[in-house]
A and B are shown apart, each in its own frame.
Chain A
């Protein structure tokens, strides 16, 4: 299919994007296609090019090569049309500290040329929806980190954007605030918007995204559904948590013998992990042998691999690298 044909079914379409800083490519042939009404998690370590990709797709940055369209318009040729159809929440909340929540939203609404009355009505509506109704007339400097982030999100929702870009929206938030942001994103997607979410947190992408694209050194190295990506590294994982740290080597040896794979050992969590194919067989055999070796097991679990493990196996290094 040609670029223009694919534009009809995909809200975000990037083909061969390149961006160079000096001698290094921040993006080096970046391809991505996100279907309308879905959430795509863009995952990668610091410096992989996530923010550069978002900046190009939101018309903030000009690519050196390749092409991209968002909401049906070319980002380089028709930036004004794109800007009317997107929302962007960057890494630092872009809110005005001195103004109240309501004043912030009214200001942004008027900058979208909504007109005074519509901007005011819209601000009230969004404040309620994002749980900021009570704090609406307080200045932002009295807001918590989570409240600022929600206000920032609310600002990106003013026009109910067709495509929403969230660049690490929950970095630095506590779990409760993170849940609130996730809930807001789910609501928007339920209403038909498309979301591109960059994150370093694998569980975040796992919870929200229909599609996960893994970015490493400026290129997409994996792009699939979360389940398909997890299947890439094989079946289930077995986790053993021991009572005593000194038993770790013995447990690792036992697990290696039972599963035929090399286990990973997390000393601080007193945990040994290995992939298994015969779930129940491996579980009972391992428990039997460990009891014979007098190794006390505090907890045992069979589970699907995490995206962290997926990432490790694709890139050969951890996501936090």
Chain B
């Protein structure tokens, strides 16, 4: 058997970029095939938010009052959207940690695959999965009486903010995933749930004890949720604190800050896999 191709390492920036994009697509595609081949996993991934909507919207919701007035389920949905984006980080974490542990990452690294391509592929696949979850949840929201009231453009901007939050968490997922074993990565889900609940997701921070309310106000998730409520025209977005008043700026600022911190950390950890 003879060698099929003579190896050529690309020298021009354009060819290198071509590699990055082609590698990213190949990796994203294989991850998307995973989604379609795992109907049970996909069903539970899509059903979980719906179950949460029913539980919080109807079981607890009947006993809830929205600070400032308004329908609880209309208040709840932006919280559910953002929570789903945030919990999505566990997908990144588990996949990254599993691939690093079971030699897949090593195979990538022993091949002439562009490292940016690997990461970009991971990001594309995760974003596609989360966008699908968000779409299902929006449909679910429309069924339970939620809707947008400020026109389509602010609504699209809100969707953009939600995806921006998810995007920033990809880097957290890669950074932490490279440091954890798959078993602990799986358990991170248990931690994410309370982190997404000490926020304005399900109740207004104004109704919480003072210290907890302050924590909830400054939770990056709260900024996205408050900004979405404002953009969708849903109840409960106004609040007295500085964080609540500047929700829109923070909903852009927090994800940018998270990306600015964790993207270099993730890249550095990946590059430094050759030192451990």
Contacts and interface: CB of A to CB of B under 8 A. Distances in A.
Given A107-B30, A114-B5, A83 B106 contact: no
Given A159-B4, A191-B1, A84 B112 contact: yes
Nearest to A91: B103
Interface string A99-134: 100010001101111100010001000000100000
Nearest to B19: A113
Interface stretch (B32-40, B84-92, B233-241): B32-40
Contacts, number: 87
Contact of B107 (A91, A103, A155, A191): A155
Nearest to A162: B3
B106 A60 contact: yes
B16 to A, nearest CB: 11
A111 B26 contact: yes
A88 interface: yes
A210 interface: no
B1 A98 contact: no
B22 A160 contact: no
24 contacts: A59-B109, A60-B106, A61-B276, A62-B274, A80-B9, A80-B112, A88-B106, A88-B107, A91-B103, A94-B103, A98-B34, A98-B38, A99-B33, A103-B33, A107-B26, A110-B22, A114-B4, A118-B5, A139-B37, A155-B107, A159-B3, A159-B4, A191-B1, A191-B2
A83 B111 contact: yes
A58 B109 CA distance: 9
A111 B112 CA distance: 8
Main secondary structure of the interface of A (DSSP, over half): loop
Interface string B30-56: 100110011000000000000000000
A60 B104 CA distance: 12
Interface string A57-83: 011111000000000000000001101
Given A99-B33, A113-B112, A157-B1, 8 more contacts: A62-B274, A81-B7, A84-B7, A94-B102, A94-B104, A108-B111, A122-B4, A159-B3
